[in-house]
A and B are shown apart, each in its own frame.
Chain A
Amino acid sequence: MLFPTTVFALFFAIVFALHWGLVRFPLPRKLVLLSASLFFYGYWSWKFALMLLASALLNHAAAVWIDKSEDPKGRRRMIAFTVTANLLVLGVFKYTGFLFTRFMVPLAIPLCARLGTTDQLIALQEQVLPFIEKIVLPVGISFYTFQALSYVVDVYWRKTPVARSGLDFANYLAFFPQLVAGPIVRAADLLPQMAVFPDRSVHLDVGRAATLILGGLFKKMVVANWLSEHLADPVFAMPESYGGLDILLGVYAYALQIYCDFSAYSDIAIGCALLFGFHFPVNFNAPYFAVTLQEFWRRWHISLSTWLRDYLYIPLGGSRAGSVRTRINLFLTFLLGGLWHGAGWTFVLWGAYHGAYLSLERIVRRLMGLPEKPSADTTLILGLLGRIWIFQVVCFSWILFRAPTMAVVGDIVRGMCKWGGPSTLLSGTAALVLVIGFLVQFLDGHRFRPVWDVVGRWPVWVQGAVAALILTLILGIGPTGVAPFIYFQF
């Protein structure tokens, strides 16, 4: 079920009414929310919903066992088993095809040629490939697997108390606004909210929720879809047909498209949750305003960055074991972060690029005597130059992220070097949409607090009517049809 659709509007209206109508009945209220979340997820496939439910129950059972056990060895074995089982399920669905076709077969080809068993290899491929093709990646599996992992690991570390019931945990894991593409909300943040649902006395920040939802819909339906359809997709589909300027436009367009697309989902999720009385952390904070790549990762997909930091980088040793080890840990974290995004060498390279650049950035800043974090009193010119530079660095990485194959990456990079000839993509509208795509970053974080507060003071019926009016304008401006969110594939 996609957010900007009639079906979702109807679903939301029903679940919202039930959620607030059942305030006096805590258990049915929780059951309704879980059923709604499973229905939302099961709208793609009921098998996915069953899998999600099984994941919730099994992870909760493991967490309860870990919590109760006093035997350190037993706890260690159980956490190792649970983490492995979660990663195995994720791996089977996400990486089987990649491992077989892009890793094992290319390795086996020269070996089989030497041993004279190429025919057997071809026969094996013919037998295995149809089976692999049948594996359908459950949408959002990476997100809820990471949430489940953070919960059991936090319980193991005794950082988070175990959920009061399987129902609370299932509601935490399956809560529909953030189920498919995040933000990855930690158990410590959301579980207490799932244990005691908000009652009618709670004050709901409707102004903020409306701004987030409508801003998100604008970013997705107007800006991201336009940039995708008219600049990014054509360039990445046939880079050889475009000159350097057009390719550069396509890359910039993709950088802004992925930001508008993904941050839109997060915003809509946060806004919807707010209307249900639940609070999620901010997931984007104007990432293209970053002066360093490190700062970029503190502003981009914050819930994933902090997840990788807490559950991968720090357990690997973090920055505690010397500068060389720190750089290796950083590199490994981003390499695995890249692989989390998708099964393909381009994603691995994307992660490696970020890891390598971050390590290099640390060395260069240290050699130049600059503080690790850019200071707030950086001069305007230096700040601007830093922002422009980091935007180029990130845009280059998006080529690896977006291109389907390394051959396309090569075409894009070669094409960017070929200047001359008229541009077929540059127009006033393209420039306008690109600028808007950049400026919508001001919607992130709490920069719009004054606007939320003003909206919050209007009579509620005015708020509702104005929100409907703005939504209608967005629907009227946006292209027809509904494009899925980019991060659904991860």
Chain B
Amino acid sequence: MCRAKGDSESSQHIGVVAGRTCFCVGVFFIFMLLFNGVAMYASATRLEYGATRDFWVSVLRPLERVSRTSGLFLLRDQTEKTLGKWLNKTSER
């Protein structure tokens, strides 16, 4: 495969094969959904009323339950309540 100029040639054989990359991306999406399920659902409920909102709310509701039950939502929740809030608070001068 051709490489774009500027790419390090030393990186030619670094990395993992495509199948393992797919697995990695799959794991990423599963954890991403579990960590952010509650926030994503809350965000969907804030959408304008209509078909798009109904779609996202119905899709994300089961995810929100799993995320809340597993307790993994706490990572996002606590980050928002601590670091996120601090960053926003100082900005509301």
Contacts and interface: CB of A to CB of B under 8 A. Distances in A.
A185 interface: yes
B90 interface: yes
Given A206-B24, A476-B79, A476-B80, A230 B6 contact: no
Interface in A229-246: 229-230
B87 A429 contact: yes
A204 B78 CA distance: 34
Interface stretch (A31-39, A273-281, A323-331): A273-281
Contacts of B93: 424-425, 427
Nearest to B21: A204
Contacts of A428: 90
Nearest to A461: B27
A200 B40 CA distance: 33
A124 interface: no
Contacts of B40: 6
Interface in A191-206: 192-193, 196, 198-206
Nearest to B91: A230
Interface string A455-486: 01000110111011101110111110000000
Contact of B18 (A198, A279, A464): A198
B21 A206 contact: yes
B19 to A, nearest CB: 6
A16 B11 CA distance: 22
A208 interface: yes
Nearest to A23: B18
B5 A281 contact: yes
A80 interface: no
B71 to A, nearest CB: 13
A20 interface: yes
Contacts of A487: none
A246 to B, nearest CB: 12
A253 to B, nearest CB: 12
Main SS of the interface on chain B? helix
A189 B5 contact: yes
A456 B19 CA distance: 15
B87 A226 contact: yes
Given A196-B1, A477-B87, A461 B17 contact: no
B35 A185 contact: no
B88 A460 contact: no
B23 A6 contact: no
| Chain B: number of interface residues, binned into ranges | 35 or more
B43 interface: yes
A193 B2 CA distance: 6
Given A198-B18, A476-B75, A189 B4 contact: yes
Interface string A150-181: 00000000000000000000000000000000
Q: Which among A16, A198, A473, A475 has the greatest number of chain B C-beta atoms within 10 A?
A: A475
B7 A9 contact: no
A204 B15 contact: yes
Contacts of B75: 469, 472-473, 476
Interface stretch (A101-109, A132-140, A255-263, A445-453): A445-453
B24 A463 contact: yes
Contact of A203 (B2, B16, B32, B80): B16
A313 B67 CA distance: 56
Interface of A: 6, 9, 13, 16-17, 20, 23, 185, 189-190, 192-193, 196, 198-208, 226, 229-230, 275, 277, 279-282, 302, 424-425, 427-429, 446, 449, 452-453, 456, 460-461, 463-465, 467-469, 471-473, 475-479
21 contacts: A6-B40, A16-B25, A198-B18, A202-B1, A206-B16, A230-B91, A281-B4, A425-B93, A453-B14, A456-B15, A460-B27, A463-B24, A463-B27, A468-B32, A471-B32, A472-B75, A473-B75, A475-B76, A476-B77, A477-B84, A479-B84
Name the 5 nearest CB pairs between A and B, nearest first.
A476-B79, A464-B27, A468-B31, A464-B28, A460-B24
Given A196-B1, A198-B1, A449-B8, 20 more contacts: A13-B29, A185-B4, A200-B18, A201-B18, A203-B16, A207-B14, A279-B2, A428-B90, A429-B86, A456-B15, A461-B23, A463-B24, A464-B23, A465-B27, A468-B32, A469-B35, A475-B39, A477-B83, A477-B87, A478-B84
Interface of B: 1-8, 10-32, 34-36, 39-40, 43-44, 56, 75-80, 83-84, 86-88, 90-91, 93
